[in-house]
């Protein structure tokens, strides 16, 4: 009975932590947006979105990892985590390169930045990045 009770308590504590993480990230993002509107520098906002969503992915993965011993799942890392990382951080990288004048003209005029912007606004890729990175390193089932 104590074991079952401790499982419930852990899940409730995880939920409380999720609420706290949500409040902290919302306040941080609002502060960055306010600073960006005052200074007209939006790069910090572009970089904060994928970083915050990856942190949420890390936090969500805490529920799924049963044993914290390194057991690398290469297929999960190569086929899911790395592509999602590239999609999640692609637009902030392009925006940074564009702001310092290092983005080639043929990329700047192509539809790639607009395509990445559409995916960037969909924060799920960052969450999947964080989740699959942790599961890729601590996964118990090898495929």
Contacts 24+ apart (CB under 8 A), 92-99: 92/43, 92/46, 92/47, 92/49, 92/50, 92/120, 95/42, 95/43, 95/46, 96/43, 96/46, 96/47, 99/43
pLDDT band at 59 (very low <50, low <70, confident <90, very high): very high
User: Cα-Cα-Cα-Cα dihedral of 23, 25, 31, 34, to 10°?
Assistant: -100
- Please give the distance of CA 27 from its chain centroid, rounded to a whole number: 17
What pLDDT is recorded for position 44? 92
- Please give the distance of CA 94 from its chain centroid, rounded to a whole number: 17
pLDDT per residue over 12-35, tens digit each? 999 999 999 999 999 999 999 999
- Phi and psi at residue 96, to the nearest 5°: -65, -45
What pLDDT is recorded for position 142? 54
- Please give the distance of CA 30 from its chain centroid, rounded to a whole number: 18
Lowest mean pLDDT among 43-57, 89-103, 110-124: 110-124
Tell me the torsion sign for CA atoms 6, 15, 132, 69. negative
Asked if residue 76 has pLDDT above 90, the reply is yes
Asked if residue 38 has pLDDT above 60, the reply is yes
Nearest-angstrom CA–CA distance, 137 and 134: 5
In the chain, domain spans: 2-138
Asked if residue 94 has pLDDT above 90, the reply is no
């Amino acid at each position: 009975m104590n074991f079952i009770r401790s499982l419930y308590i852990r899940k409730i504590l995880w939920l409380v932590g999720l609420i706290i993480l949500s409040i902290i990230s919302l306040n941080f993002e609002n502060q960055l947006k306010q600073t960006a509107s005052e200074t007209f520098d939006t790069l910090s906002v572009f970089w904060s979105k994928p970083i915050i969503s990856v942190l949420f992915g890390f936090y969500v993965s805490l529920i799924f990892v049963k044993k914290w011993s390194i057991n690398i799942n290469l297929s999960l890392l190569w086929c899911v985590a790395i592509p999602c990382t590239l999609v999640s951080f692609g637009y902030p990288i392009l925006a940074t390169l564009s702001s310092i004048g290092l983005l080639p003209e043929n990329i700047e005029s192509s539809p790639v930045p607009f395509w990445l912007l559409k995916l960037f606004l969909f924060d799920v890729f960052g969450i999947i990045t964080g989740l699959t990175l942790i599961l890729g390193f601590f996964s118990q089932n090898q495929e």
